[in-house]
Amino acid sequence: MNFRPTSLRLLHTLPVFLLANCGLQKDIDIELPSGPAQLVAECYLEDGITPRLTVTETVPYLSTTETITLPEVTVVLTLPNGTHDTLQYAPGLDRRTRKTYTHISKRRLTARPGNTFQLDITDKQGRHLTGTATMPTTIPIESVEWKFNDKPEGERQAYVLARFQDPANTTDFYRFQIHKNFVNKDTESDYNVDDRLTNGQLVTLGTSYRFNPQDTLVISLYHIDQPYYQFMQSTDDARSANGNPFAQPSAIRSTVQGGVGVFTVLNYQRKTVILK
């Protein structure tokens, strides 16, 4: 199992290739300062699901692929009532999400909108990572509809629209996903939006013509907090810049302190439809 988060690497050395007009190539190595390895955490809490968490550490950008395990890390989750839950080191694969994890709780989580959770991770090197996350309110999916184009049978495809009511007088953030058949497969549609232009309105999110007759679709609407929204935006930017010599480097906007990563509480609504 490889727990190294490739999108959260630290860059130590970057080769830059300059092409002169005469066709000659000159290689320049730019040495960048390398700091100590930081703790990296990835944790998504859900109501009714046993908490699982992955703890690794940052590595040099050009290092070889290797398995990183940190068994001597203490992971404590503080529940809304002040109870402390110490997660056990037991690496495994979550069959529901197909994600690997390093630490797991012994009990299912109870989470309600407005509940706040705290994460505390320490190790014997003196590193200390913390995080705080509050479960957002529930935003129901009011309707899902689709329409096929007018192409001949065998070429017909449909677009999908989902509607929900955005709360007024608050700043809200969302993640919209569509999967075929099962949510642990690759997404057919996945993007993030805010309500800067739609505050308090009935919001419609959708796709282009891309789905076939009889497709079974799982539509998910996540109501997320601003730190998680900014984290996802920054990881998308970093992924786009990775390996592109003309792109500006993009820093990860973590939702945790004292390290790198994400700690959040998910609240989502789902509908399953068959396109007929």
Distance CA 84, CA 89 (A): 16
- Region 161-178: mean pLDDT is 97
Structural domains of the chain in order of their starting residue, each with its CATH number: 6-135 (2.60.40), 143-223+269-274 (2.60.40.10)
Binned at pLDDT 50, 70 and 90, residue 63 comes out as low
Asked whether residue 179 carries a pLDDT value surpassing 80, the answer given is yes
- Region 6-23: mean pLDDT is 42
Residue 213: closest CA among 151, 133, 122, 142: 151
Asked whether residue 18 carries a pLDDT value surpassing 80, the answer given is no
pLDDT at 61: 65
**Greatest alpha-carbon span in the chain:** 70
Are 179 and 187 contacting, i.e. CB atoms less than 8 angstroms apart? yes
- Region 16-41: mean pLDDT is 62
Asked whether residue 210 carries a pLDDT value surpassing 60, the answer given is yes
pLDDT at 269: 98
Strand partners, 193: 174
| 152 or 67: which leads in pLDDT | 152
| 106 or 17: which leads in pLDDT | 106
- Region 54-83: mean pLDDT is 84
- Region 234-247: mean pLDDT is 70
Binned at pLDDT 50, 70 and 90, residue 29 comes out as low
pLDDT at 51: 98
pLDDT at 27: 62
pLDDT at 252: 83
- Region 4-17: mean pLDDT is 40
Asked whether residue 32 carries a pLDDT value surpassing 60, the answer given is no
Chain centroid offset of residue 270 CA? 18
- Edge-to-edge strand order for the sheet containing 99-104? 256-257, 128-134, 116-123, 73-78, 84-94, 99-104, 52-57, 39-45, 260-265
Are 250 and 235 contacting, i.e. CB atoms less than 8 angstroms apart? no
Q: Exposure string (b/e) for 71-88, b if CB count within 10 Å is 16 or more?
A: eebebebebeeeeeeebe
Asked whether residue 254 carries a pLDDT value surpassing 50, the answer given is yes
Binned at pLDDT 50, 70 and 90, residue 249 comes out as low
pLDDT tens-place string over residues 68-79: 778 899 999 999
3-state secondary structure of 232: helix
pLDDT at 22: 47
Asked whether residue 231 carries a pLDDT value surpassing 60, the answer given is yes
